[in-house]
Amino acid sequence: MKHIKVFASILVLILLDQWSKIWAVSELKGKDSIQIIKDILEFQYLENRGAAFGMFQNKQIFFYVITIVVVAGLTYYYFKMPDNRRMIPLKIGYAGLFAGAVGNLIDRIMHQYVVDFIYFKWIDFPVFNMADIYVTVSIGFIAFMILFYYKEEDFSFI
């Protein structure tokens, strides 16, 4: 019962990610990009068969294994975490990281690629999706919290 909020959050994040990808396929695939902010941000359809920045193209088995290992490891440590208010930020980071990893894993299993559609044209940043945002923000948040909030003794459960 005490984990319902975290797992409900994960489910909502995964559903939002999958909904955004369904939208991208229906509204962007085979069509011109949609400008959101002229010359800065646009939506354009991309099938990514690799990892971030297009690395490791067509290595789907590798991605399945890595994702399952990472999600299993995260979940193991999640259940070892003390159940106190101080661990709430770490649990929030876990939820985002888990949802992002699973969101992209669903794509890889269903399509053999990940649907990407958000493009920062202004800086020519690689096209990405909601799950990528979850992973990136969660890792940054967790790193920040470990560096500036948590103390070594907070991780005695490890």
Q: For the whole prediction, is pTM greater than 0.85? A: yes
Task: Compute the average pLDDT of residues 25-38.
Answer: 97
Contact present, 100 and 134 (Cβ < 8 Å): yes
Confirm whether 116 is a catalytic residue.
yes
Helix (H, G, I), strand (E, B) or coil at 43: strand
Distance between CA atoms of residues 5 and 16, nearest Å: 16
Task: Kindly tell me if the per-residue pLDDT of 23 is higher than 90.
Answer: yes
| Kind and range of the H or E run holding 118 | strand 114-120
Q: Confidence band (pLDDT; 50, 70, 90) for 53?
A: low
Question: Is residue 151 situated within a structural domain?
Answer: no
Q: Which of 39, 116, 124, 154 is flagged as catalytic?
A: 116
Does residue 158 form part of some domain? Answer: no
Give me the amino acid identity at 68.
I
Catalytic site includes residue 32: no
Closest listed residue to residue 150, CA positions, set 28, 3, 158: 158
Given the residues 32, 83, 124, 132, the one annotated as active site: 132
Structural domain contains residue 85: yes
Residue in this structure with the two tokens 């560096």, named with its chain if needed = 147
Residue range of the domain that includes 105: 4-146
Q: How many domains does the chain have?
A: 1
**Residues 88, 56: Cα–Cα separation, whole Å:** 34
Task: Convert the pLDDT of each residue in 120-158 to its tens digit.
Answer: 999 999 999 999 999 999 999 999 999 999 999 999 988
Residue 62 scores a pLDDT above 90: no
